[in-house]
């Protein structure tokens, strides 16, 4: 594993840094900090994504003919790191860019690539991922939303749940059941559904953070053109696996930069906070815990680099992404717990409160981290994947 950047990669990074400097980033950042609601923040991210797209930086590793930059996966990782380091607003189309786009590139027809990819990169069409159902989460093959072929359309009936961005999405990348007789993995189809179709009803779900990032979606006789199937009818399982692998690899891509920033912030807080008449960072227990967090953060960063080197060689994300997903999500929960212990009651103050440290990020972070070990597949499922596909152990029953 070579950790030094090649001349090409250095040039790429420097071009990006110059573009960021000329893009009025400071102003974008300041405006984002003033946005109070999820909806306002989303609208700002969408405008920022447009700017990034127009600057030619969206879809760094996507083919040029579909609006991407045609760069390498390592350059894409550099892009994500630099954006995180500069604290740029996030791109709005998280699911479109990270999950659906790469799946369309891998499994879509030429017509589908031309139709959907540019809108994903510009942010003109926002995507969500309709996989989970009340009876199908970890056991994704149990999906039971029905799609029946009627001439050249599928008619969809069913219920999806925990759909992030469902409240704002224009399109939904869905897994549906097209054959009830076949073994359960073999009766599924991956289909792209226009969320404005008659019969689609979206209901927000409130999380413990107070936000409604995700939704449940009801489908009643929703007609979807058969040409919207991605891959083959009844061949949706393999297409879905492609999405999940991208999900596990991209979700954590620039996290180590954010983790490092939060860690430094916490250490600074610990210097000024008093515990037993001394700065909290002099407390032996606090030091033990911060030292442990730092070591874990480094392990995560290096493991990610190793995974990236492998993906760069093979071109596709593999089951090793599960190691990363499991590690960062559990680390974040441990780190938020340490922050909470160090800050004491202050850690519970939310952003509306003037005394809340760092604009309430610790209260929010603690609550939001609980979902990390569930979203994109629970820790138990990641361990099963590592056991079966990385270690070669027998399949779980
Ligand atoms: C913040 C957030 C965002 C999400 N966004 C989306 C989204 O955009 N689109 C989407 O489709 N879904 C989304 N989800 C749903 C998520 O993918 C599911 O919640 C997750 O896959 C778990 O499924 P479940 O909730 O049905 O739990 P279950 O599958 O019912 O699991 C319950 C418990 O049993 C354990 N378990 C289940 N099977 C096994 C097994 N074989 N071995 C060991 N333990 C097992 C699980 O680990 C878990 O602890 C999101 C979830 C969250 C929290």
Determine the pLDDT at residue 33: 87
In ligand 1, the atom with minimum distance to the C-alpha of 378 is 47
Question: Ligand 1: does its nearest atom lie under 6 Å from the Cβ of 18?
Answer: no
The single residue of 82, 213, 247, 320 carrying the catalytic annotation is: 247
pLDDT above 90: residue 320: no
pLDDT above 80: residue 291: yes
Question: Ligand 1: does its nearest atom lie under 6 Å from the Cβ of 372?
Answer: no
26 as an active site residue: the answer is no
**Average pLDDT over every residue of 48-64:** 95
Closest CA to 274 of 355, 342, 335: 342
**Average pLDDT over every residue of 360-375:** 96
Element spanning 161, H or E: strand 153-164
Element spanning 283, H or E: none
Q: How confident is the model at residue 2 (pLDDT cuts 50, 70, 90)?
A: low
User: pLDDT tens digits for 26-44?
Assistant: 999 999 988 889 999 999 9
Q: What percent of the chain has pLDDT over 70?
A: 98
**Average pLDDT over every residue of 44-50:** 97
Question: Ligand 1: does its nearest atom lie under 6 Å from the Cβ of 375?
Answer: yes
Q: How confident is the model at residue 52 (pLDDT cuts 50, 70, 90)?
A: very high
Distance CA 95, CA 43 (A): 16
Which residues neighbour 397 within 8 Å (Cβ) at sequence distance 6 or greater?
Answer: none
pLDDT above 70: residue 250: no
pLDDT above 80: residue 249: no
pLDDT above 80: residue 289: yes
**Average pLDDT over every residue of 60-76:** 91
Question: Ligand 1: does its nearest atom lie under 6 Å from the Cβ of 207?
Answer: no
pLDDT above 60: residue 1: no
User: pLDDT tens digits for 263-287?
Assistant: 999 999 999 999 889 999 999 999 9
Gap from CA of 138 to ligand 1 centroid (Å): 5
E strands present in 196-336 = 200-205, 214-225, 229-230, 274-275, 278-279
pLDDT above 70: residue 361: yes
Task: Give pTM, 2 decimals.
Answer: 0.94
Question: Ligand 1: does its nearest atom lie under 6 Å from the Cβ of 164?
Answer: yes
Backbone angles phi, psi at 173, to 5 degrees: -90, 105
Distance CA 301, CA 320 (A): 14
Q: How confident is the model at residue 251 (pLDDT cuts 50, 70, 90)?
A: low
Closest residue CA from atom 5 of ligand 1: 164
Average pLDDT along the chain: 93
Determine the pLDDT at residue 314: 74
Determine the pLDDT at residue 247: 74
Gap from CA of 134 to ligand 1 centroid (Å): 10
Question: Ligand 1: does its nearest atom lie under 6 Å from the Cβ of 162?
Answer: yes
Closest residue CA from atom 9 of ligand 1: 163
Closest residue CA from atom 2 of ligand 1: 375
Closest residue CA from atom 48 of ligand 1: 378
In ligand 1, the atom with minimum distance to the C-alpha of 130 is 11
Pocket test for ligand 1, best of 98, 103, 132 (most atoms within 8 A of CB): 132
User: pLDDT tens digits for 212-241?
Assistant: 999 999 999 999 999 999 999 999 999 999
In ligand 1, the atom with minimum distance to the C-alpha of 396 is 41
**Average pLDDT over every residue of 329-350:** 96
Angle between helices 73-85 and 284-314 (to 10 degrees): 150
Cβ atoms 247, 240 nearer than 8 A? no
Backbone angles phi, psi at 208, to 5 degrees: -70, -15
In ligand 1, the atom with minimum distance to the C-alpha of 160 is 11
In ligand 1, the atom with minimum distance to the C-alpha of 380 is 47
Question: Ligand 1: does its nearest atom lie under 6 Å from the Cβ of 381?
Answer: yes
**Average pLDDT over every residue of 58-81:** 91
Cβ atoms 226, 274 nearer than 8 A? no
End-to-end CA distance of the chain: 37
pLDDT above 80: residue 355: yes
pLDDT above 80: residue 311: no
pLDDT above 80: residue 312: no
User: pLDDT tens digits for 122-169?
Assistant: 999 999 999 999 999 999 999 999 999 999 999 999 999 999 999 999
Determine the pLDDT at residue 321: 85
Q: How confident is the model at residue 96 (pLDDT cuts 50, 70, 90)?
A: very high
Domains and CATH numbers, the chain: 7-92 (1.10.540.10), 127-234 (2.40.110.10), 254-390 (1.20.140.10)
């Amino acid at each position: 594993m070579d950790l030094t950047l090649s001349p090409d990669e250095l040039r790429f990074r420097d071009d990006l840094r110059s573009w960021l400097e000329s893009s009025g980033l400071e102003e974008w950042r300041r405006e984002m900090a003033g946005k109070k609601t999820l909806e306002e923040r989303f609208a700002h991210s969408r405008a920022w994504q447009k700017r990034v797209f127009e600057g030619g930086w969206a879809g760094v590793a996507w083919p040029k003919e579909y609006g991407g930059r045609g760069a390498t996966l390592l350059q894409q990782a550099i892009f994500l790191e630099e954006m995180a380091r500069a604290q740029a607003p996030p791109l709005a189309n998280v699911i479109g860019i990270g999950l659906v786009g790469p799946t369309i590139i891998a499994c879509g027809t030429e017509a589908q690539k031309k139709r959907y990819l540019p809108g994903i990169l510009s942010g003109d069409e926002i995507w969500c991922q309709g996989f989970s159902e009340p009876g199908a989460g970890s056991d994704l093959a149990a999906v039971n939303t029905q799609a029946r072929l009627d001439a050249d359309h599928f008619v969809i009936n069913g219920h999806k749940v925990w759909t992030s961005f469902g409240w704002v999405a224009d399109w939904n990348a869905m897994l549906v059941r097209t054959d009830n007789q076949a073994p359960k993995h073999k009766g599924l189809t991956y289909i792209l559904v226009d969320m404005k179709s008659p019969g689609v009803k979206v209901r927000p779900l409130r999380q413990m953070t107070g936000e409604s990032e995700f939704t449940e979606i009801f489908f009643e006789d929703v007609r979807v053109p058969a040409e919207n199937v991605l891959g083959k009818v009844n061949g949706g399982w393999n297409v879905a696996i492609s999405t999940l692998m991208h999900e596990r690899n991209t979700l954590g891509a620039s996290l180590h930069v954010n983790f490092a920033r939060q860690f430094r912030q916490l250490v600074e807080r610990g210097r000024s906070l008093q515990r037993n008449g001394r700065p909290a960072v002099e407390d032996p227990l606090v030091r033990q815990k911060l030292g442990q967090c730092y070591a874990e953060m480094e392990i995560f960063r290096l493991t990610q680099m190793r995974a990236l080197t492998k993906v760069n060689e093979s071109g596709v994300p593999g089951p090793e992404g599960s190691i990363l997903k499991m590690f960062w999500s559990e680390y974040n929960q441990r780190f938020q717990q340490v922050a909470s212990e160090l800050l004491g009651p202050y850690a519970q103050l939310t952003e509306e409160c003037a005394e809340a440290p760092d604009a309430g990020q610790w209260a929010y972070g603690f609550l939001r981290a609980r979902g990390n070990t569930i979203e994109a597949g629970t820790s138990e499922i990641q361990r099963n994947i590592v056991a079966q596909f990385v270690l070669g152990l027998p399949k779980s029953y």
